Amino acid sequence: MEQRALGRSGLTVSALGLGCMSMSALYGPPADKQEMIKLIRGAFARGVTLFDTAESYGPFTNEALLGEALAPIRGQVVIATKFGFDIDPETGERRGGLNSRPDHIRQVAEASLKRLRTDHIDIFYQHRVDPDVPIEDVAGAVKDLVAAGKVRHFGLSEAGIATIRRAHAAHPVTAVQSEYSLFHREAERETLPVLEELGIGFIPFSPLGAGFLTGKIDETTVFAPSDFRNAVPRFSIEARKANAALVALLKRVAARKGATPAQIALAWLLAQKPWIVPIPGTTKPHRLDENLASCAVALTAGDLREISEGTARISLKGERLPEAALKMTGR
């Protein structure tokens, strides 16, 4: 698989990573552990070297899953995990909102290292910006972990450009992770130009619009009771009907290219910048195969123009997250 450099950090990873959250949380009941270990190792065998998790996924169970799956190949992969939510280390229950106090960051790092069965975390993201803790203090805590050899690279998730600049000035930021796809393009306005200026890599999560861009979801789709999409305005029945026009555009391009809508969506993302590394997640081996095959889909200037002109005529309906979750982004 093609390798991509995350900005000017010196860290190189596969052009597509694997988001592991859905294996343990938010998209319904957790998947079978042994099947997920097999899938993770299968992704590595196909060339994937970037694997994304967080202490909050489960909580804790997703890190443990990834640690077990990658233990035999730890030296050949890049593991990204996250801190920043206030989670009881004994029960796994959320005790409140956010917590990026330096002492808490250190505690999370030690616990994550154990669950991941490793002596270092390759990318340690602040999961959401904590307005009660100066970002310089957060960067300083990560800097100390880097000096101790426990963390290799500092990352931010869903941060605003002012925070990105301040954090990068305190300690180099290797990667920023935010939602980005044809289903949500806000990053193009400010985030991508700033990352290019500073030499920071970009890791889009939900590159398939939480599954919508696969073309397998319509107004008749019923999600599992525990699936977070039940609470997302963009996945209301009315929004799904209105937003079907975007999927129809992808299907037209896909039919001409001998590809699937998901492959076109991922190929479009890969074509935006050479330092963008999407992390589509899945629990299904055939979807993994489909996603990885997107790397072989070459979109011409004409294809990209058709997508650009087509999306300009489509007005998407519904917010991408519930109101409370949106308030924790872009700080």
CA distance 288 to 41: 12
Give domain status of residue 7, yes or no: yes
Contact partners, residue 8, CB within 8 Å, separation at least 6? 199, 200
φ, ψ (nearest 5 deg) of residue 98: -105, 155
Name beta bridge partners: 276: 202
Give domain status of residue 296, yes or no: yes
CA distance 228 to 231: 6
Q: Please report the pLDDT score of residue 94 as a whole number.
A: 84
The angle at the Cα of 248, spanning 242 to 251, to the nearest 5 degrees, equals 155
- Tell me the pLDDT tens digit for each residue of 170-189: 999 999 999 999 999 999 99
Give domain status of residue 254, yes or no: yes
Q: Please report the pLDDT score of residue 276 as a whole number.
A: 98
Would the pTM of this model clear 0.95, i.e. be above it?
Answer: yes
Rounded to a whole number of angstroms, the distance between the first and last alpha carbons of the chain is: 35
CA distance 139 to 102: 9
Q: Over 90: is that where the pLDDT of 96 sits?
A: no
- C-alpha torsion sign, points 225, 215, 46, 175: negative
Query: Structural domain tally of the chain?
Result: 1
Q: Please report the pLDDT score of residue 104 as a whole number.
A: 97
Q: pLDDT averaged over the chain?
A: 97
CA distance 186 to 254: 24
Active centre residues (catalytic): 57
Residue with tokens 């629990």: 283
- Tell me the pLDDT tens digit for each residue of 205-260: 999 999 999 999 999 999 999 999 999 999 999 999 999 999 999 999 999 999 99
Give domain status of residue 331, yes or no: no
φ, ψ (nearest 5 deg) of residue 52: -115, 130
* % pLDDT > 70, the chain: 100
**3-class DSSP state of 151:** strand
**3-class DSSP state of 147:** helix
CA distance 164 to 176: 8
pLDDT-derived band at 95, boundaries 50, 70, 90: confident
Are β-strands 151-157 and 173-179 bridged in parallel, bridged antiparallel, or unpaired? parallel
CA distances from 159 to 120, 125, 136, 168, 262 (A): 24, 11, 14, 12, 26
CA distance 150 to 139: 14
Q: Please report the pLDDT score of residue 56 as a whole number.
A: 97
The candidate with the shortest Cα–Cα distance to 43, out of 4, 69, 72, 11, is: 69
- Tell me the pLDDT tens digit for each residue of 246-301: 999 999 999 999 999 999 999 999 999 999 999 999 999 999 999 999 999 999 99
User: What b-and-e string marks burial along 121-142, b requiring 16 or more CB atoms within 10 Å of the CB?
Assistant: bbbbbbbbbbeebebeebbebb
Give domain status of residue 257, yes or no: yes
The angle at the Cα of 63, spanning 230 to 27, to the nearest 5 degrees, equals 15
Residues of the domain holding 7: 3-326
Q: Please report the pLDDT score of residue 61 as a whole number.
A: 97
CATH number of the domain enclosing 44: 3.20.20.100
CA distance 96 to 76: 37
- Tell me the pLDDT tens digit for each residue of 187-197: 999 999 999 99
